[in-house]
Structure 1
């Protein structure tokens, strides 16, 4: 059993309304021994329908104060870590780096949620575009951004964009984009950075696969990748640790025997 969920959100993130206490109580009920809140910080987020301006600007101090309260309250039941999910964009790389340097996070996820300052979550994003070109551009931008913003521990949901391709489209596969994905994986492995093994799409999206795909996870191992973390990407209590049994099998089949937790950015290995 995986005992640590290292990718979850509460109402401190712009896309969750769930109080931190509810997420924590759900984690305890699920039998987890450790969790890491990784609240969203996406600077320079575009103005989109139905969203307020800057919906993912995180009040880091308020977030930390709340987390510290629950960390102490539930200290005899679960270990709560102070994490963040940084939204990468080229124009805010220096601001992201400065933010990380000025706070004592336990763990940092770097994720690419936007492409050319647009959100692939919205159906109109895909209008008039060739899916294959969009996917390749997304991976190219991922490689560029992990080099521009290097102060992170794991790359979040590597093939995240595959969740949002138009319904019924089957363009994406690891093999089809192997050349550019391998560049990303090799850079991560050579830099001592890890992968967020994200189970969200296994239960919540018609895409129905892990992010990254099992093939990409196996390739990371082949290229010397060592660090993996397990994350449900939960925004509600029922999502905590979702599909972790499937994610564990994927990791074992890829050749991994350990997963990692973090404290003050220092990784600790645990047996799978």
Structure 2
């Protein structure tokens, strides 16, 4: 696995790592192509992290390093958009204003609050919240047009507490299947996010049963990303993916340039 298409640097509000450090570590790992996908979460909950993005500074810096390291690694320009229904028009104009190679859609907040923070869960029944999260994801996808992949479909279970991080697809099939079908019908990719291994969940996000169901429904388009915010998290768990994905029935994954997919065979 020589391509990581979900990674962050200090241009994202939750990373302190200089872009150059991420690039040099990626080269040391032997990666051939990387895509920075810095966070842009407009109207993020007040008083929590700042996920605004200085896109001009980000793009200028990336272009400098892209040229400087062209003989060693292919660097691509991406963004991760934090979906909320009222942001669709803003995001559409934003994406169309920059020469992105790759655009990630992510569901980070629910009812204008982020499940990353423990206070989010106070007084809530986790299974009900998880259902609402998947329903909100579908609602946002139906509104959004300018994206290439849906990231970490079951992001919320990372923070749902004991007994829920190890959920099974069958518990939520009625709200997960419509999301998978929508992606398939509209030619969008589903991301295999390896941060689940980093968080000790023992699975990618989404879990294997969801990926299997995606295939059963006719889905084939996947992207792969570590969601790394530090050098040591780049390509995290990538050694596990060829066997895992081949066993499920996948034969290739997608990388993007100028918003157009390139299909790479999985190796074993």
The TM-score range, normalised by the shorter chain, is: over 0.9
Q: Determine helix, strand or coil for the equivalent of 2:147.
A: coil
State the alpha-carbon separation in 1 of the partners of residues 155 and 29 from structure 2: 25
Distance 1:254 1:137 in 2: 28
Distance 2:15 2:208 in 1: 28
Which residue number in structure 2 is paired with residue 243 of structure 1? 237
Aligned ranges 1:45-60 → 2 under 5 Å: 45-48=44-47, 51=49, 55-60=50-55
For 1:145 and 1:133, locate their aligned partners in 2 and report how far apart those are by CA, in whole Å.
18
Q: Which runs of 5+ in 1 are unaligned?
A: none
Residue aligning to 1:67: 62
Evaluate the alpha carbon distance shift between residue 169 and residue 182 of structure 1 in structure 2; reply closer, same or farther with a 3 A threshold: closer
Note the residue ranges of structure 2 that are not aligned, 5 or more in a row. none
Kindly state the Cα deviation for residue 29 of structure 1 after the two structures are TM-superposed.
0.8
Number of aligned positions between the proteins: 266
**TM-score, with structure 1 as normaliser:** 0.95
Match of 2:107 among 108, 112, 115: 112
CA positional deviation for 1:161: 0.4
In the TM superposition, what whole-angstrom CA distance separates every residue of 1:48-79 from its partner, at most 9, and x where no partner exists? Answer: 35x4xxx1111111100000011011100000
The CA distance in 1 between the partners of 2:165 and 2:8, in whole Å, is 29
For the residues of structure 2 that align with 1:125 and 1:169, how far apart are their CA atoms? 15
1:14 corresponds to which residue?
A: 13
Within 5 Å, give how 1:1-272 maps onto structure 2.
Answer: 2-48=1-47, 51=49, 55-169=50-164, 172-203=167-198, 205-272=199-266
Quote the offset at 1:169 in angstroms.
Answer: 4.1
Change (3 A) 1:251 1:102: same
Deviations 1:107-153 (A, max 9, x none): 00000000100010111111111111000000000000001112100
Structure 1: distance between partners of 2:166 and 2:127: 6
1:212-248: per-residue Cα shift (whole Å, max 9, x none)?
Answer: 1111111111212121111000000000001012223
Secondary structure, in 3 states, of the residue corresponding to 1:95? helix
| Offset, 1:249 | 2.3
Task: For 1:25 and 1:133, locate their aligned partners in 2 and report how far apart those are by CA, in whole Å.
Answer: 43
How far apart, CA to CA, are the structure 2 residues paired with 1:169 and 1:132? Answer: 8
